[in-house]
Amino acid sequence: MSEQFVPNFDKQYTVSEKWLPTSGMDIYIDGTRHLPDNSSMTKMTVRIVDSDLKAVLPPEVVLADIGQSSTRNQRFNFQTELRLKKVKPTALVYMTFETVDISHNQARLIGHSYFPLFIDGRQGMPATVDSATQISPHLGLYQMPIYWARVKEETPFTYERFVYLERVPTASVLIRIVKAPEAAGKAISTKGLPAAER
């Protein structure tokens, strides 16, 4: 039986890392862990939005990789790139997970998760206002809870909308945020590179 949480005690980001107009980040959502027993293959919708619920990037829908997944632990191998000169500090990854309930053979919502993309350097916490000026990219490897309660899509839409919601017991999503490689002082794309080089 696999552990509910993946041990990871290393500090994942530093507030000394500054976000510049030439910066970029790669967002990986590797998979989900310990979904409810009645889950079957799962669909994930990924949105990156700011506090005004405006899309930073177009939403993407991804199905779990059947060959690499079990019903409770599913692999998505999702990657997207953030390469924008202007990104609001409140931008976050907003994930929705849906499945077919094998008990009733009906589509069901498993829940939602989130990941704030920037840290307010003055507070040492995810940015909640767009007026924050000392922002750092929220880099690293994280295991985020999945919440079964439906989040209110109201503005301001920040990570604080999620933290007091009821969680799906044991369920989580694995997400990695990596600083984009640069060439000539500009972020470059990693799409097409072998997985070991991303």
Question: Which of 5-14, 20-29, 39-48 has the weakest average pLDDT?
Answer: 5-14
pLDDT value of position 20: 83
pLDDT at 63 over 90: yes
High-pLDDT (> 70) share of the chain, %: 89
Rounded to whole angstroms, what are the CA distances from 48 to 59, 102, 166? Answer: 7, 30, 22
pLDDT value of position 7: 67
The mean pLDDT value for 123-145 works out to 93
pLDDT at 12 over 70: no
Give the whole-angstrom CA distance, residue 36 versus residue 173. Answer: 13
Give the whole-angstrom CA distance, residue 94 versus residue 112. Answer: 7
Give the whole-angstrom CA distance, residue 8 versus residue 79. Answer: 21
pLDDT at 163 over 50: yes
The mean pLDDT value for 40-50 works out to 96
Question: Which of 12-16, 25-29, 106-110, 166-170 has the weakest average pLDDT?
Answer: 12-16
pLDDT value of position 19: 84
Give the whole-angstrom CA distance, residue 47 versus residue 54. Answer: 10
Sign of CA dihedral 37, 78, 60, 20: positive
The mean pLDDT value for 39-53 works out to 96
pTM: 0.89
pLDDT band of residue 173 (cuts 50, 70, 90) is very high
How high is the mean pLDDT of the chain?
Answer: 90
pLDDT band of residue 1 (cuts 50, 70, 90) is very low
pLDDT at 185 over 80: no
pLDDT in tens, 142-162: 999 999 998 999 999 999 999
Sorted by where each begins, the domain ranges of the chain are 25-184
pLDDT band of residue 8 (cuts 50, 70, 90) is low
Are the beta carbons of 179 and 137 closer than 8 angstroms? yes
Give the whole-angstrom CA distance, residue 148 versus residue 137. Answer: 28
Fold held by 25-184: Immunoglobulin-like (2.60.40)
The mean pLDDT value for 120-138 works out to 91
